Homo-oligomer: A and B are copies of this chain.
């Protein structure tokens, strides 16, 4: 310890991760049964401690990489949670982060290895400690974000149908939207490009596949800072 900030108590700091995925028309998050005491066996977010030599964002990225095997994800901080008794073992201040992933990119073996499962956000069991609060806040922030920025693409394959995109918005916002109005809005967004490709998975007729053009979005005068 240096001379600067003497006599102040140090505390364990962890990061907890809310991993959002979209599958079968449902918004889901990755949770697992806690494998350590205290709280062994309770449903819990995946987390890890912040090391002395890493920033908190770095720690979040590391932990999320550990869990998902994925890099360059859309990750945002939810906030710090620091009630004295939030962890029954020892005092731990935890910083929650959420990440959006395309479930198709997620390696099944990693999932098994970490003993985590996708749980529909609507059917969340009670979680360990204050992890419920973290999830609620993450969802609130994500809804906020998705309704003014196109972040939903991080939850979809790079090619997707308009119906998929609509179902995603509905699952996130928890309410249905009108198909024609939705498609009208999408048409106004120049950064959502129609391709000539057809998806035949989800219907007999087939549906055009679209893609999100990140560059066009960045250049869109509407979203310029």
Whether A92 is near chain B, meaning CB under 8 Å from some CB there, is yes
Of the listed stretches A44-52, A177-185, A196-204, chain B binds: A44-52
Known A4-B38, A5-B12, A89-B4: A80·B83 in contact at CB below 8 Å: no
Known A77-B79, A80-B79: A11·B90 in contact at CB below 8 Å: no
Residue in A5, A38, A93 whose Cβ sees the most chain B Cβ within 10 Å? A5
Q: Range of interface residues on chain A? A: 35 or more
Contacting residue for A84 out of B38, B55, B77, CB 8 A: B55
What is the total number of copies of this protein in its complex?
2
* Interface residues in A30-85 (C-beta closer than 8 Å to B): 36-38, 49-59, 77, 79-84
Whether A113 is near chain B, meaning CB under 8 Å from some CB there, is no
Check if A49 sits within 8 Å of B89, measured CB to CB: no
Per DSSP, are chain A's interface residues mostly helix, strand or loop, or mixed?
loop
Residue in A10, A79, A84 whose Cβ sees the most chain B Cβ within 10 Å? A10
Check if A8 sits within 8 Å of B4, measured CB to CB: no
- Chain A to chain B contacts (Cβ below 8 Å), 13 pairs: A5-B89, A5-B90, A8-B49, A9-B49, A10-B12, A50-B93, A52-B91, A55-B83, A56-B81, A56-B82, A58-B84, A77-B79, A80-B80
